[in-house]
Amino acid sequence: MILEKAERILEKHELCDHCLGRLFAMLGKGTNEERGKAIRFVLNMERSARGLQPIEEPEECELCHSAFDRVPELVETMKKASEGIEFETFLVGSRFPEEIKEKEKAIWEAFDIETAEPINREFNRELGKAFGKATGKETSKNPDVVFIVEPFSGKVEIQINPVYVYGRYRKLIRGIPQTPLPDFKDSVASIICRAFSKAFEGKCVFKGAGREDVDVRMLGNGRPFIVEIKRPKRRRVDLGKVAEEINASGKVEVLDLRFVSAKEAEEVLTKNHRKEYLALVLVEEGVTPEEAEEVARRLSGLEIHQRTPWRVRKARADKVRVKRVHEAEARWVDEKHFELRLVTDGGLYIKELVSGDKGRTRPSVSELLGKKAWCERLDVLNILDE
């Protein structure tokens, strides 16, 4: 049946061994070229026994126009196009003219072929094997780079896939935002990204797992963040040296830098973390040690209903969020101040938890005290993963 079908096809179409073998790609093992050679060889033996002329492989295939003969030349073009780019893994894609793909499908339909493989799939595989052999690089489903090749024009495009790095940052001083803002020379993101862009030779995009206000420090174990480096020319980077450069700023420190996958990066950014805070509370009317301790006792385990704070109403949806204070401890400082250490759900606005935000947060420290209270200073002590 295979020989009979192959003979009918070859009598009407001048196909190379690649294109002949590809018609029966789902049958047997080996490459399509090997398959095509074997079919042609046995077919010509039978034709000889019947006194018929052999059907030789044409000088130029009418379907692929001998695209597979261009593989060595295209490998050299790919090598030249990727000079100066560090990568270990790759994939190959190709763009064939529509008329070739349509003609291939027409042959399948005309001769009732159900075992074929599309031309671009074989071409990608064969070009990938040749490039891997020439360079020592390996193919991967999650490659460092993707080559898009046009077999006839010889044009090669390179898609350089991003690098993702996880870390945690400490913001050691007040007065710098997490991301760039007008009137601020530096930000956490700009300090971190300068070092990453320089090391990887690509564009750095910073993404924090939450954020703190400009006047709030981030201390302790640091806030998780992800940097995505787009189109990096360097991938084999010493993250320890990147950390040293960032930490030398004296404003921001980074910890635990490591490479992660895109999926791991997304999980870091979507996870809801509990947070530990230290707030310095100001009570103008005065506060006693007993009052401070009573506020902490009543806050611990309390459910808070917090409408979007007045100060961020233009940037956040106006809705009521229900959050919980898991732990609260007080330390009296003086007649007008006490410190409040809190462990809360992520997303609870601490300044408004203290002030009440004109009734938008309930209950609040002000409400529990029966006196107006303000958060004079705030630090994030730790971001709790569990």
The span from the CA of 324 to the CA of 321, in Å, is 10
Q: How many CA atoms lie within 13 A of 264 on its CB side?
A: 14
Continuous H helices in the chain:
2-12, 17-22, 32-49, 71-81, 98-110, 119-135, 188-200, 239-247, 262-270, 289-299, 350-355, 365-369
The span from the CA of 115 to the CA of 254, in Å, is 55
- Give the residue numbers of the binding site for substrate: 277, 349
Contact 74, 152 (CB under 8 A): no
Which among 340, 304, 342 is positioned nearest to 323, based on CA atoms? 304
Contact 380, 217 (CB under 8 A): yes
What pLDDT is stored for residue 224 in this prediction?
96
Task: Return the amino acid letter for 212.
Answer: E
pLDDT tens digits for 306-329? 999 998 887 778 899 999 999 999
With bands split at pLDDT 50, 70 and 90, how would you rate the model's confidence at 386?
A: low
Apex 352 CA angle, 351 and 357, nearest 5:
135
Which among 169, 256, 175 is positioned nearest to 209, based on CA atoms? 169
Structural domains for the chain: 1-160 (3.30.2300.10), 163-270 (3.30.70.2510), 274-384 (3.30.70.3190)
What percentage of residues in the chain have a pLDDT greater than 70? 99
Catalytic residues: 213
- Give the residue numbers of the binding site: 277, 349
Owner of token pair 């189109």: 231
pLDDT tens digits for 160-198? 999 999 999 999 999 999 999 999 999 999 999 999 999
pTM as predicted: 0.88
